[in-house]
Amino acid sequence: MQVIILPTPKDVALYAANRVVEVVTKNTNPVLGLATGSTPIALYNELVSRHRAGEFSFQNTKTFNLDEYIGIAESHPQSYRTFMNRHLFDLVDIDLSNTYVPLADSLDPDVLARNAECYESEILWTGGVDLQILGIGVNGHIGFNEPTSSFASRTRIKTLSKSTVEANKRFFAEGEFQPHLAITMGIGTILSSKSIVLMATGKGKAQAVKDMIEGPLTSMCPASVLQQHEKAIVILDEEAASLL
Ligand code: GLP
């Protein structure tokens, strides 16, 4: 695991954007793993501007998102499919049929489990993810792999922890249904990516960042597993790095 500390969140986004552009331009059929949350928005904004400036195209790129909420429609304003369309896919020349987000638009556990399995197979069939973008939860989760998730886990249904539901409350209106379940790539799935960039910004992430980098390898901090990935880069702003 390589750790890079930069002054501001903007610098973190620029650094991550350079890695994405490199992968997209160097590979004939690039495969990106993408993340949601507030942290990668600056990265997507940067990619959109550089794409619009004619620097590169997403035409041959496939993308796999980490996770999706169960219990809300794909078209719901807070679904991760909507998030990705709004912040990236609708703004660039990517073929929407090459953008994968787990299908979680059902309440039937058998259908959801099958969707999760198919998602895992789709990733394998494409030859795997070249670059996986990650954020980190305040409890050290990656994707929706909450503390105690198995390091060998593959795409599956997960129950969100109380702290994650609390942290994501801000995106839902008062009294609105908020999902407590999700389909997420597993930790094993994430580790299979050829390279990984984890972005963390702000003081709120400082403890999770410390646990990930300086703590023991433990399923109580799922992100600590990145210590074992040969091509994982953690990019931090000074606030997220303040407890190191
Ligand atoms: C959600 C997502 C994660 C993301 C995390 C942190 O739980 N499933 O992939 O890393 O939020 O989000 P934020 O960047 O908004 O802090």
Domain formed by 2-237, architecture: 3-Layer(aba) Sandwich (3.40)
Tokens representing 149? Answer: 């998730």
Burial 154-167 (b: 16+ CB within 10 A, else e): bbbbbebbeebeeb
For residues 4-18, average pLDDT: 98
pLDDT recorded at residue 64: 98
Cα 142 to averaged position of ligand 1 atoms, centre (Å): 8
How far is it, in rounded angstroms, from Cα 240 to Cα 220? 19
Residue pLDDT, tens place only, 109-128: 999 999 999 999 999 999 99
What pTM value is reported for the model? 0.96
Asked if 206 and 242 touch (Cβ cutoff 8 Å), the reply is: yes
Query: How many Å apart are CA 201 and CA 10, to the nearest integer?
Result: 10
Q: Is 67 in the pocket of ligand 1 (CB under 6 A)?
A: yes
Domain parsing of the chain, residue ranges = 2-237
Closest-CA residue, ligand 1 atom 3, reads 143
Out of 11, 67, 68, 211, pick the active-site residue. 67
Split at pLDDT 50, 70, 90, the class of 154 is very high
What percentage of the chain has pLDDT greater than the value 70?
Answer: 100
Strand 195-200 to 232-237 pairing? parallel
20-45 per-position pLDDT tens digit: 999 999 999 999 999 999 999 999 99
The active-site residue out of 87, 141, 211, 229 is 141
Q: Catalytic annotation on 139? A: yes
Q: What is the model's pLDDT at position 1?
A: 95
